[in-house]
Structure 1
Amino acid sequence: MPIHREFPNVMTETNSKTAFVTGGNGITGSAIVEYLVNNTKAEEWQRIITTSRSPFKNAVSDPRIEFIALDFTNPPEVLIEKMRDVCNDVTHTYFSSYVHRDDFQELNIANCALFENFLNALTAVAPNLASVTLQTGGKHYGVHLSPVPSPAREEEPRRAATVDNFYYPQEDFLIAKQRGQNWSWNVVRPEAIIGTTMKPNGMNSALTYALYILTCKDSGEEPKMPTNQIYWNGYDDCSYAPLIADLTLFVSTNSGCANQAFNVTNGDYFCWRYMWPRLTAYFGIQTSSEHDFQQTSIKIGDPHLEIALKEWATNEKRKVWDRLCDDMKCPEAKGTWDAGTWQYQDWVFGRTWSATLSMSKARRYGYKGYVDSFEAFVETFEKMKKLKQIPS
């Protein structure tokens, strides 16, 4: 399906550059690598270095791509020894690495250390460093906790720090580290990232939607959106990984955008009561925009679910999925079930408030990128089919 885009691909810097992309197997990291391969030439970007803790797999190939296995939980002195020769000419770096911990306090500590180890090592080995871009997200505005001014804008004051939000200390460390240096920083804040990677990635709501809808369809169950009346009737947005890559490259290579934070979403807003039936229709099952909720007197700000995916995704449902994959001659997709983020999606759909991000600042700085969100979902599902992550 052709997608209407305005991806500007505008880069004002002309000197040959070297990119260093962390999280190369993740949704954003792989999208940045793919963007550089498909939209730049060797005269612009001479090397594309990428890293992850696991072996690198990507949908594109290019002689400029170089992989180095790094674990940023290691201290800087260990990383420096591994990075010194490879990263000596790095000019632009893009950080989207993440480490998961079930305990919120441990999660915060681990991801702060992850970024600090990375940046301390990088600045020690890259004398020609020009730009460092950190990806955070909508959690910066507290969208995960309670209603916030919507659409949230970059200039709004921070909310009180919480134990599960490592974005503030990461951003503070970046800004403090840059003071007095020749390089500049950017922070990019997407919301509800969708996209594809070579192996099923759990940090991707689109994958969970596909698992849920297809399993319901095969078992004769109506795939009602597992949410509440307020969220169903409210408005939302999301961020398509190729567009995140496009904005990331735009702001990091335009001097007028230096030392600034930017939201990045597809550029449209949608109402779930109309989006959900379109998603189920794509998978061949008709659902209605009219949804009779059992609980209609919900207080805004009090999370509520009528269907909890964590409880829905039983071993019996897993058996349905496995049988479906066999019936559709796509046994490779059986393992995709393990990437379903049931609990995370319950948290998202359980909100009783809308939380969107403003793209006005990016527009003021000259960015024109846009993707229709439904078409982004469709393209994502189509790519998942080609990768045999879901049956076709």
Structure 2
Amino acid sequence: MPCAIVVGATGITGSAIIHHLVKDSSYDKIYSLSRGNPGYQNSKIQHVTLDLQGSVDDMAHNLHGISAEYIYFCAYLGRDDETELLRVNSALLHSFLQALTVTGADRRIKRFILTCGLKQYGVHLGQGKQPFLEDDPLLPNSKGGDSWPPIFYYEQQRILAEAAVNGHWEWVVTLPEDVLGYARGNFMNEATSIGLYCAVSKALPGSKLPFPGSKANYFTFNCWTSANLHAKFCLWAATAPSAGNQIFNVINGDTESFQNLWPRLAARFGCTIPDPIFPNGGVPDTKGFKDYESSTIRMQNRPPIKARESSLGLSSDPVVDNAPTLFLQVDPEKWARRSDVNAAWMQLREKYHLDQEAWDKATWNFLVLTMGRDWSCVASMSKARKLGWTGYADTWDELEETFQMLEKEGVMPPVEQLRRDF
């Protein structure tokens, strides 16, 4: 029976993969690799403490005697500077692969699954050609007078493909988007920030739920990825006959928008949506909701679609020349620093015994991007479907399930009690 190694076992995608590996009877041994012990209680799981920023020799020492046919690499270290982000995360993967070579574990590998994301297409940099397809050209670091920040996924994929050729094994790269899930102590999750925003809004006077983002964002179409669905996909891709040496979009399979999700969020938390929801017409550079701070953030680069202008017949179209702008009628980062907001949070924290760390580490800056942008982010699943993938998840159901887990773990207040108390 095969063994599996999961690198980044304490993260949302890594912990979900371990959960599904445990349920898969075809695996008899699972090695969970991370700096901290996630405390999995299952006889199939063996935890190995591993610092991916350590030396190759140190990693090789910790990995002595450990090997597997299938490796799932979900490790990631965030950095504000894109060049540093590339350097750090490329080094993590490269050093780990070197350590496997030192121990000889690379000789057992059949497939190595690397988790990346839709930043592959520059979704964080502006409007791109939609829907995203896996064979779309990579975004160049420079094109004439245009320049985009480096995307570290490209270098990771180059490192992985080179190692696979040298080691005579196969690789798979997955591209999820805005992953919905939960891992204990890990709050780098859009669902956590949205849930806390809704819960605190319920506790504030009037229980209003303003939409933080731009009017354009409210009506754009987007896709999300369930951590559980992504885990199932990774297990499928590890053994699917034609999946080797391939890059795959991995999204739930539905297309969503905040015009659909926001009313459902308001109903779930017992809030009311202000009417009008865009009091100043949603025009950037104007005041958003009364007493709340708005933000307009002008990006320095042209949108990624600029790189495709000739093939799309858009060379003279303004859409390719205007630098992207993020507009928040309620800036989440500024909102989270308000005294009344923090007082409401502390009231919830004390009343329901919530985790202060969840509030301190909530990724409000991520909401600035995902709600402030005026472009859609939709990827195609056709490539995987043609190879036999049939998985699907409903985004609202996955969001609801994530909220329920966050409530159970003391990150968010239990919604039924919250609705009764406020």
Higher RCO (CA < 8 A, seq sep 6+) = 1
Aligned to 1:325: 349
Aligned to 1:108: 86
| Cα distance in 2 for residues equivalent to 1:152 and 1:290 | 33
Q: Which range moved further: 126-135 or 310-319? A: 310-319
- Superposed displacement of residue 77, structure 1: 1.9
| Cα distance in 1 for residues equivalent to 2:246 and 2:365 | 33
The correspondence of residues 306-385 of structure 1 with structure 2, limited to 5 A, is 306-314=329-337, 316=339, 317-327=341-351, 330-385=352-407
Structure 2 CA distance for partners of 1:357 and 1:57, relative to 1, 3 Å: farther
- Superposed displacement of residue 64, structure 1: 0.6
Matched, 1:81 2:61: yes
4+ residue segments displaced more than 6 Å: none
Aligned to 1:194: 180
- Superposed displacement of residue 164, structure 1: 4.9
Matched, 1:148 2:148: no
Please, which runs of 5 or more residues in structure 2 have no aligned partner?
A: 142-147, 285-317, 415-422
- TM-score, normalised to structure 2's length? 0.83
Deviation track 1:50-102 (CA, whole Å, cap 9, x = no partner) reads 111122234xx3201010110111122221111022x1x31110111011223
Q: Which range moved further: 245-254 or 282-291? A: 282-291
Choose the corresponding residue for 1:204, options 185, 189, 193: 189
Aligned to 1:55: 37
- Superposed displacement of residue 289, structure 1: 8.7
Letter in 1 for 2:331: A
Matched residue SS, 1:118: helix
Matched residue SS, 2:326: coil
| Cα distance in 2 for residues equivalent to 1:282 and 1:288 | 16
Larger Rg: 2
- Superposed displacement of residue 232, structure 1: 0.5
Matched residue SS, 1:235: coil
Letter in 1 for 2:342: R
- Superposed displacement of residue 288, structure 1: 6.5
Is contact 1:226-1:306 (8 Å) kept?
yes
Is contact 2:249-2:379 (8 Å) kept?
yes
Choose the corresponding residue for 1:45, options 4, 27, 40: 27
| Cα distance in 2 for residues equivalent to 1:204 and 1:81 | 33
| Cα distance in 2 for residues equivalent to 1:73 and 1:196 | 24
Is contact 1:228-1:293 (8 Å) kept?
no
Matched residue SS, 1:54: coil
Is contact 1:57-1:198 (8 Å) kept?
no
- TM-score, normalised to structure 1's length? 0.89
Is contact 1:52-1:71 (8 Å) kept?
yes
The correspondence of residues 1-392 of structure 1 with structure 2, limited to 5 A, is 16-38=1-23, 40-41=24-25, 44-58=26-40, 61-85=41-65, 87=66, 89-125=67-103, 126=105, 127-161=107-141, 162-199=148-185, 201-220=186-205, 221-287=207-273, 291-296=277-282, 301-314=324-337, 316=339, 317-327=341-351, 330-392=352-414
| Cα distance in 2 for residues equivalent to 1:102 and 1:156 | 26
Structure 2 CA distance for partners of 1:232 and 1:192, relative to 1, 3 Å: same
Letter in 2 for 1:304: F
| Cα distance in 2 for residues equivalent to 1:147 and 1:289 | 29
Is contact 2:252-2:394 (8 Å) kept?
yes
Matched residue SS, 2:5: strand
- Superposed displacement of residue 152, structure 1: 0.4
Is contact 1:22-1:94 (8 Å) kept?
yes
Matched residue SS, 1:389: coil
Q: Root-mean-square deviation (CA), in Å?
A: 1.8
Pairs aligned (count)? 367
Is contact 1:277-1:289 (8 Å) kept?
no
Letter in 1 for 2:382: S
| Cα distance in 2 for residues equivalent to 1:290 and 1:183 | 57
- Superposed displacement of residue 122, structure 1: 2.1
Letter in 1 for 2:16: A
Is contact 2:76-2:89 (8 Å) kept?
yes
Letter in 1 for 2:95: N
Letter in 1 for 2:138: R
- Superposed displacement of residue 295, structure 1: 4.8
Structure 2 CA distance for partners of 1:325 and 1:296, relative to 1, 3 Å: closer
